Chain A
Amino acid sequence: MDNLTLWMIFIAVCIGTFAIRLSFVHLHGRGSFNIGKHQTTLQLLAPAVLAALSIPAIIFQDKATLDSVSIAQITAALVTAILAWAFKGVFWPLCLGMITFWIMKFYSF
């Protein structure tokens, strides 16, 4: 991807995100749109997007070429997921997941 395309993407995301952040602040006291009704949809979008982003990228070594399934990546992801579930955080599960990944990768289990 060339730099111009990338800058265009960045600017589009900047404008779109600002519009989302401004939405209700701007419309306050005017609109009849009730965010409470859509709260469930908004909450479900997070797991949908995160799962679609993470799971294929973890299973396949190279998503572009569908290169072989990576045991090191899957093991590291399991370690991270279990730790994140047990300790309700992101930082330490991520660190220990990366360490698992490096051990498996460099000692080629």
Chain B
Amino acid sequence: MSSSGKRDFLEGVRDLLPMVPGVLPFGLIAGANGTSLGFSPEMTIGMTLLFFAGSAQLAAYQLIQEQALPAVIIFTALMVNIRFLIYSATFAPLLHSLKTRHKWPLVYLISDQAYGLCATRFTPEQSDREKLYYFAGTAVALAVSWVGSVILGLLVGEQIPAEWSLEFAIPLAFIAMLVSSIRNRASLITAVFSALVATSLIQLPYNLGFIAAIIGGTTIGLIASSFITKISLKAQRENNG
């Protein structure tokens, strides 16, 4: 690594550090709940490395605990991760021309935090090289703090008694994330509809109610979204005319 590359890499590491307190609780929950699900430490760490996506891992925990079908668990984890499409599109110009042995590991390490930092810090004046080293710094720092906090959770989890129902932290974390994912009326309608369907169809076999909630909620949200756009366009036209 050249000295300028090293400087950009370390800048990425440094910028990620303030995000570690946000990563830590999820890692602790992921580590501690692996143990309470009856996973061996190797299994929890293996899962963490294979998923490398915290919310998908917690979603999978909850569904494993509810004895959902394997196909439903895989489907849900991938739906939770579908947001990475946006990140992939964002990093595409930067990573596309790299050699596979560099590209694949960097792609594997794409995360919410690395994306968030790079999307706000990249400027047109920066060279691709600078951006690349900066991204690598954020990605590696996130990976180390994520896996580290899961291991910490494994150690702590063994000490926590079962009566504390630590697994309840998972749906609670999803509630907090749900609230921050509601940005407009369409997403609110999506959330309400999905919650109603998932709750009322809970007894359907093969988690069909759950799948119906995701597909139905998104569809209703899309319809609502185009309806809202139409109304606001109409209002705009009336204002102008």
Interface residues of A (CB under 8 A from B): 1, 3, 5-14, 16-18, 20-29, 35, 39-60, 63-64, 66, 73, 76-77, 80-81, 83-85, 88-91, 93-95, 97-98, 101-102, 105
- Count of A-B contacts with CB under 8 A? 246
Q: Contact mask B155-176 → A, CB, 8 Å, 1/0? A: 0000000001100111111111
Closest to A26 in B: B96
By the criterion CB–CB under 8 Å, are A39 and B86 in contact?
yes
Q: Chain A: interface secondary structure? A: helix
Stretch of B6-14, B75-83, B231-239 contacting A (4+ beta carbons < 8 Å)? B75-83
Closest-by-CB residue of B relative to A34 is: B89
Is there contact, CB below 8 Å, between B110 and A21?
yes
Q: Is B62's CB under 8 angstroms from A9's CB?
A: no
CA distance A47 to B88 in the complex (A): 21
Contacting residues, chain B, for A48 (C-beta < 8 A): 190-191, 194, 213-215, 217-218, 221
Which A-B residue pairs are the 4 nearest by beta carbons? A48-B217, A54-B174, A28-B96, A55-B195
Interface residues of B in 210-236 (CB under 8 A from A): 210, 213-215, 217-218, 221-222, 225
Whether a CB of chain A sits under 8 angstroms from the CB of B17 is no
Docked CA distance A59–B60 (Å): 19
10 new A-B contacts, CB < 8 A, other than A28-B96, A102-B164, are A6-B43, A18-B107, A35-B89, A49-B214, A53-B171, A56-B202, A57-B62, A57-B174, A63-B202, A101-B172
A-B contact pairs, 9 of them (CB 8 A): A10-B50, A46-B181, A47-B190, A52-B198, A54-B171, A73-B171, A81-B179, A84-B180, A95-B25
The docked-state distance in angstroms from the alpha carbon of A51 to that of B189 is 11
* Chain B residue, CB-CB nearest to A83: B176
Chain A residues near B170 (CB, 8 Å)?
57
Bound complex: CA A90 to CA B180 (Å): 8
Nearest-Cβ distance from residue A7 to partner chain B, whole angstroms: 7
**Chain B residues with CB below 8 A from A26, complex form:** 96
A46 nearest CB across to chain B (Å): 4
A13 contacts B179, C-beta separation under 8 Å:
no
- Interface residue count on the B side (C-beta < 8 Å): 85
A52 and B175 contacting across the interface, CB-CB below 8 Å: no
Q: Quick one: which of A20, A46, A98 has the most chain B CB within 10 A?
A: A46
Known A-B contacts A44-B186, A51-B191, A81-B176; the reply to A25 vs B77 at CB < 8 A is no
Residues of B within 8 A of A95 (CB): 25
Give the docked Cα–Cα distance between A85 and B175 (Å): 10
Does B85 lie within 8 Å of A20, measured CB to CB?
yes
A40 & B56 in contact (Cβ 8 Å cutoff): no
User: Inside 8 A of A13's CB, which chain B residues have their CB?
Assistant: 50-51, 56, 60, 73-74, 77-78
Q: Quick one: which of B88, B198, B202 contacts A51, CB cutoff 8 A?
A: B198
- Give bound CA distance, A22 to B227, whole Å: 34
Are A20 and B88 in contact, with the CB atoms below 8 A?
Answer: yes
Minimal beta-carbon separation of B181 from chain A (angstroms): 4
Please state if A47 and B199 are interface contacts (CB–CB under 8 Å).
Answer: no
- B178: chain A residues within 8 A (beta carbon): 47, 50-51, 54, 81
- CA–CA, A105 and B162, complex, Å: 13
On chain B, the residues within 8 Å of A64 by CB distance are: 66-67
A52 B172 Cβ-Cβ under 8 A = no
